[in-house]
A and B are shown apart, each in its own frame.
Chain A
Amino acid sequence: MATSVANEGASAQIRRRDPAGGISWGRLAGLAVLVLGALIFLFPFYYMVVGALQREPKTDITSAFPNPANLTLANFGDINARVDLVRTLINSGIFTAGVLLATFVIGLLAGYALARLEFRGRNVVFNAMLLILVLPFQLFMIPLYVLIVRTYGLSDNYLGMILPFGVNATAVFIFRQFFLQLPPELFESARIDGASEFTILRRIAIPLARPAIITALIVTFIGPWNEFLWPFLITKQHDLQPLAVALANYISTVASRAANPFGSILAGAVVLAIPAVVIFLVFQRQFIESNLGSGVKG
Chain B
Amino acid sequence: MAVAAAGRRGRMRRLIGRDPIGYAFIAPYVLFLAGLFGYPLLLALYISFFDYFFAAPGAVVDRPFVGLRNYQQILGDPVFQKALLNVAEFIIINVPLTVVLSLVLASALNAKLPFRTFFRTSYYIPYVTASVAVIGVWLWFFNGSGLLNGVLGPLAPKPAWLVNEFWAMPIIALVVTWKQLGFYVLLYLAALQNIPRELYEAAEVDGAGIVRRFLAITVAEVRPATTLVVILATIVGANLFTEPYLLTGGGGPNGASMSPVLLMYREGIEQGHAGYAAAIGAVLAIGVMAISAVNRFVLERE
Contacts and interface: CB of A to CB of B under 8 A. Distances in A.
Q: Are A and B co-members of a single complex?
A: yes
Interface of A: 15-16, 18, 21, 26-27, 30-31, 33-34, 37-38, 40-42, 44-45, 47-48, 51, 59-61, 63-64, 102, 105-107, 109-110, 112-114, 117-120, 122, 125, 128-129, 132, 134-147, 150, 153, 163-164, 166-167, 172, 196-198, 201, 222, 225-226, 228-229, 233, 244, 247-248, 251-252, 262, 265-266, 268-270, 272-273, 276-277, 280-281, 284-285, 288, 291-292, 295-296
Please provide the 5 A-B residue pairs with the shortest distance between their CB atoms, ordered closest to farther: A117-B22, A110-B29, A119-B22, A295-B190, A226-B130
B132 A284 contact: no
Interface stretch (B2-10, B143-151, B163-171): B143-151
Contacts of B111: 26-27, 30
B65 interface: no
Chain B interface, >50% SS class: helix
B150 A61 contact: yes
A252 B190 contact: no
A182 B92 CA distance: 43
B28 A296 contact: no
Nearest to B183: A291
Contact of B129 (A196, A277, A284): A277
Given A48-B136, A120-B17, A145-B274, 11 more contacts: A26-B111, A44-B178, A118-B22, A119-B18, A136-B288, A139-B282, A140-B41, A201-B25, A226-B131, A251-B136, A295-B190
B22 A59 contact: no
A33 B108 contact: yes
A147 B17 CA distance: 35
Given A138-B264, A222-B128, A273-B133, A164 B36 contact: yes
B104 interface: yes
21 contacts: A16-B114, A30-B111, A41-B125, A41-B182, A44-B134, A45-B125, A60-B146, A60-B150, A64-B147, A135-B285, A138-B261, A141-B261, A143-B43, A144-B40, A146-B274, A147-B40, A196-B21, A222-B128, A228-B130, A269-B136, A295-B191
A59 B142 CA distance: 10
A62 B32 CA distance: 52
A130 B280 CA distance: 23
Given A110-B25, A125-B30, A284 B121 contact: yes
Interface residues on B, range: 35 or more
A44 B121 contact: no
B262 to A, nearest CB: 10
Contacts of A45: 125, 129, 137
Contact of B33 (A18, A113, A120, A128): A128
